[in-house]
Chain A
């Protein structure tokens, strides 16, 4: 008697890619705005980026229903924190909270692949990258989602030191200036949308720096 396979899955993949790059005094977080299912497009204008705190922004790809639920959870916990501590959560604190929230559902995970970006308490850029169940790491840059396999090797080539055996792992920030990082992000998404069918339509680029949070958009291939 062979084991009966499930003929219904609670998950779906809405596609898309996200990227975050940390700089000395800024952080760039970007995601495409296409939401799809199977071979169809559900909408060309869906924001995968969510502001969690003053200096902390999260981008998530995967199953957007789970992503929405996760964002609500984090917003609620952040509000409680603000009531109890009379201040906003810092980015590293939010990073830990996100990890704990994800692991809480270890046995029925949020199908959500996140990158968290922002400024830490000293004003330096920081990026945290996650898997679906909360394992996280502070890095200089990261990419998640359907286009990540196309984006990460390029970012590695441009931003990473040649080999950790030759050079010690530097401070987790890139030497790029803000404008260069944005240029890199645009190039990387334009390339990913050429070869990944789930990435396209528009990119939403969010930049967090000392002056605050600003948003910009760029058109991508619509096919």
Chain B
């Protein structure tokens, strides 16, 4: 009976081979690079004609803002959009992937995509990765069965709600929703409420900031209002401007010519030996 272990080809998913090495490095004081997270306030609500999604536009790397105006409302299908919070790479990748899958499905079935389809595809993927794909999503859209709004957590659980918030600014935004939400809002009331909720996140949460993006989805139509509100312009620009005349200083110039190395073979055939 052979005791050899059959080498399985690596399946997809995460490889944990380097975990021990990373632990050892961390003990020695070498810290791993930080991920770009989106800090974030994302919201969604259902109004009388459909769904409105909202998001802020700040992406952070720890305490530093790495993108002041990024897009957090991702396209999934002509009638479905998804806001993403958590690790930026994860939200981008997972929404792009499911968006492609939905398109293929549309070709296959010949029908408009349904929100529950996107929901199931996303939650299956996230559960499969056991929470390591750090994407917290607010999925909204209008299909033949009506308007839908869902939240999806990194571990793969979902909720179906009339209004929802996610991200580090979710508590600030939810406070606004819980105070002012009612059923049967008109489009303008809905946009105003979503803007207020995102602004609450922008001003009270340090992980969220910059501008407000809105997406209104109704039966047969969608409106993507990029930078619907820009409440944070630059506060001061010097009137005289600044010049940067100092280039890199040349402290020392030393030129070392490369010597030619020439080998002289006395007689003999160069090809032998």
Contact = CB atoms under 8 A, between A and B. Distances in A.
B205 A165 contact: no
Contacts of B251: 163, 165-166
Contacts of B202: 223
A218 B234 CA distance: 12
B206 A39 contact: yes
A186 B235 CA distance: 9
A146 B65 CA distance: 12
Interface stretch (A59-67, A79-87, A91-99, A192-200): A192-200
Contacts of B242: 158, 187
A153 to B, nearest CB: 11
A170 interface: no
A49 B213 CA distance: 37
B204 interface: yes
Contact of A221 (B204, B208, B232): B232
Interface residues of A, number: 31
A211 interface: no
A38 B95 CA distance: 29
B207 to A, nearest CB: 5
Interface string B239-261: 01010101001010000000000
B249 A162 contact: yes
Interface residues on B, range: 20 to 34
A95 to B, nearest CB: 29
Chain A interface, DSSP helix/strand/loop, else mixed: mixed
Scoring A38, A218, A220, A221 by chain B CB atoms within 10 A of each residue's CB, the highest score goes to A221
Contacts of B246: 157, 162
Interface string A111-147: 0000000000000000000000000000000000010
Given A221-B232, A223-B58, A223-B210, A41 B63 contact: no
Interface in B73-104: none
A219 B236 CA distance: 9
B238 interface: yes
Contacts of B236: 186-187, 189-190, 218
A50 B269 CA distance: 87
A220 B232 CA distance: 9
A40 interface: yes
A194 B60 CA distance: 12
Interface in B7-30: none
A223 B209 contact: yes
Interface string A151-179: 00000011000110110000000000000
Scoring A40, A41, A166, A184 by chain B CB atoms within 10 A of each residue's CB, the highest score goes to A40
A209 interface: no
A68 interface: no
Given A39-B168, A39-B206, 10 more contacts: A40-B206, A41-B204, A190-B236, A194-B68, A194-B234, A196-B63, A197-B39, A197-B64, A218-B235, A223-B210
26 contacts: A39-B205, A40-B204, A40-B205, A150-B64, A158-B242, A162-B246, A162-B249, A165-B251, A166-B249, A186-B238, A187-B237, A193-B235, A195-B64, A195-B68, A197-B63, A197-B65, A197-B206, A197-B207, A218-B235, A219-B235, A221-B234, A223-B58, A223-B202, A223-B203, A223-B210, A223-B232
Interface of B: 39, 58, 60, 63-65, 68, 168, 202-210, 231-232, 234-238, 240, 242, 244, 246, 249, 251
| Interchain residue pairs A-B with the least CB separation, the first 3 | A223-B209, A190-B236, A197-B206
